[in-house]
Amino acid sequence: MARCFIGFLIQEGSKEKIRQVIGKLKSLPMECKFVEEENLHLCFSFLGEVEDEKIKDISSGVDSVASNYSSFDVKIYGMRMIPNENYIRVLALDVDGGSTLIRMIKSIQEEVGGDAKPPHLTLCRIRSVKNKQTFVERIKELQDREITSFTVDSIQLIRSELSKSGPIYTAIHEAKLKVE
């Protein structure tokens, strides 16, 4: 069994602006666990525990979806408090990939299944916030700002192995999108 999701691991060249945002967040009055830099990703569909013998079928489904889409650009912007500002458990950046991203996520769900949430890029999981009013004000200062943009050129089946130091993400299958 493997804990898996379908997504896109953020490439090194796109991480600098995200690092800058994380640097600003580190000064906020909160206790949290930041996502390891090598694990920054977009999740298109969370599959959960998958039996090893189903990996090949899921990979074929990912290939099928990828064959219908061309590479597309996404904008990373703003800040999202999940589930909401009254009960903050996750800080994430919003992702805008236009109608292509929305259609592709829907295709992944139809072809492979899983649980898809609105597109976002998780930065940290929050344990507690010390001064909520100040915290929320500072987060709102980051909302609606474009952080970076990059091209999504593949869909990856990613294994998430839990360890004491945090999850280790490994792309176990990658399907390239068409290049136009």
Note the residue count of the chain.
180
pLDDT at 162: 86
What is the model's pTM?
A: 0.89
**CATH code at 2-176:** 3.90.1140.10
Low-confidence residues of the chain: pLDDT under 50: none
Residue 12: phi and psi, rounded to 5, are -50, -45
Residue 111's Cβ-side half-sphere holds a number of Cα atoms within 13 Å equal to 21
d(CA 101, CA 1): 29
pLDDT at 145: 81
Asked if 96 and 77 touch (Cβ cutoff 8 Å), the reply is yes
Using one digit for the tens of pLDDT, what is the confidence trace for 5-54? 999 999 888 899 999 999 989 999 899 999 999 999 999 999 999 999 99
Percent over 70 (pLDDT), the chain: 99
pLDDT at 143: 77
